[in-house]
Structure 1
Amino acid sequence: MAAINDLLRQISETSLRNRLEQEFDRISKNKKFGLVFEEHIPECTPLYEISIKRGSTVAQKTGHINDVYTVLKLDGDTALCRNKATGNTMNIPIIDISFLV
């Protein structure tokens, strides 16, 4: 930050220098510098050609990729799935879900 302050002091036009210093002060109060940890939803990658089986982590092809389910039971062409976030269960046609990594 000292380097930025040195560069700002080199600006000869007073009004421009003052304006830039004000903006830099405003930004530096809001922005954290250094190592910052942020929580994100884990990234998911659908694998469409992998067969679905009991215990698989899946998502609906037409739904949001982070709406993740666990397959509890396969019954013909449908899978009984539990939403990992809400715990709700629902039957979803196997052709409408994809395996997640």
Structure 2
Amino acid sequence: MAFTAASYAELATHYPVSAGEAAYVRAAFNSRFLSRAVGSLRLAIGIISAAAVTLGGAGYISQLIALPAPLIVVAIVAASGMVAAWGILKSVALAELLT
């Protein structure tokens, strides 16, 4: 893990942009196609991870409240979206509290 963290720290100082992995691939290979592919895969990973966490949370909540799982999933996504729209500091504070 230390090697990965050191690599990202080094790359972030050389390419301080918000695109992350896609920017690094673009700089390394000078290929727009590969950069877009990596960016798209990173987006897909984020969506899949969020879906897995949401479904897991809905499973836990359904043990406490007798509601259909799809309704709980929609409520979790809506509540998360509202907190994120409220502000990034508030969403980080909520994540810290829930963790």
**Fold conserved (TM > 0.5)?**
no
Report 1 or 2 for greater relative contact order, CA contacts < 8 Å, sequence distance ≥ 6.
1
Rg bigger for which structure? 1
Structure 1 length normalisation: TM-score? Answer: 0.25
Of Structure 1 and Structure 2, the greater strand share is in 1
Structure 2 length normalisation: TM-score? Answer: 0.25
